[in-house]
Amino acid sequence: MIIIAGLGNPGNQYAGNRHNIGFMAVDALRRLPSFTPWSRKFKAEISEGEIAGEKILLMKPLTFMNLSGESVGEAMRFYKLAPGDIIAIHDELDLPAGRARIKTGGGHGGHNGLKSLDAHCGKEYRRLRLGIGHPGEKDRVHGHVLGDFAKADKAWLDPLLDAIADNAAMLVKSEDSQLMNKLALATGAKAEVEKPAKAAKPAAQSHIHQARNHAQPKKLPETGPMAEMLKRMFGKKDG
């Protein structure tokens, strides 16, 4: 089983907040045909289904963001899962609005939901980070995060959420490069996929060395008409 946990705050007053983009993404996944209606368990709203042949538990913790790990950790222990079986979807201040990144492990970057997951589940879970942009000033961060998405944001938000659901199989199968391309195409963002390491180049040579390698003199003929002509042109003259 894989747990896909969207991070957010419960309640209608928070439903449209930027901080709740994780909830929104999991809501989009739940609309896929195989998933059951929401029910309550593990201090969360949960839905069970299947993606790409894998059994999936969707979760929206009802503990509020700062205690998200209590809910996800309880489900993880119940099903005897490892941190690597968890995918957390959350808002990311340090990414421009509409951009997405995915990684396993790493720091929490001050995100209280991730702090809680780290404490209750370990750190080696996968994180799908969805950019909400930074307001530019530190004292405006709280209001920005807990503020609702603007109407203009719908231009990238709806296509992003739809693309996450449409390409859920890539998320589950860890086809991260392909998934990032799909999400970038959906929002019109430039895809930034990690490129494979290039093969090592031969050791650099000096220009003189290279010239010598490419300009080795050809062996002169020692017999025949050409040899006779060269002897007449360059041979020693009798003194």
Neighbours of 94 (CB within 10 A): 14
The three-class DSSP label of residue 133 is: coil
Query: Look-up: residue for tokens 């928070």?
Result: 14
Distance between CA atoms of residues 131 and 118, nearest Å: 20
Please give the structure tokens belonging to residue 133: 């942009």
Catalytic residue among 19, 108, 111, 207: 19
Please give the structure tokens belonging to residue 228: 């006779």
User: What single-letter amino acid sits at 221?
Assistant: P
Phi, psi of 184 (to 5 degrees): -65, -40
Q: How far is CA 90 from CA 69, 117, 215, 231, in A?
A: 13, 12, 61, 84
Strand partners of residue 76: none
Q: How far is CA 9 from CA 19, 204, 229, in A?
A: 8, 57, 95
- Is residue 207 part of the annotated active site? The answer reads no
Tell me whether residue 87 is exposed, middle or buried, using C-beta atoms within 10 angstroms of its C-beta: 0 to 12, 13 to 18, 19 or more: buried
DSSP state of 219: P
Tell me how far the alpha carbon of residue 81 is from its chain's centroid. 22
The three-class DSSP label of residue 83 is: helix
Which residues does the annotation mark as catalytic? 19
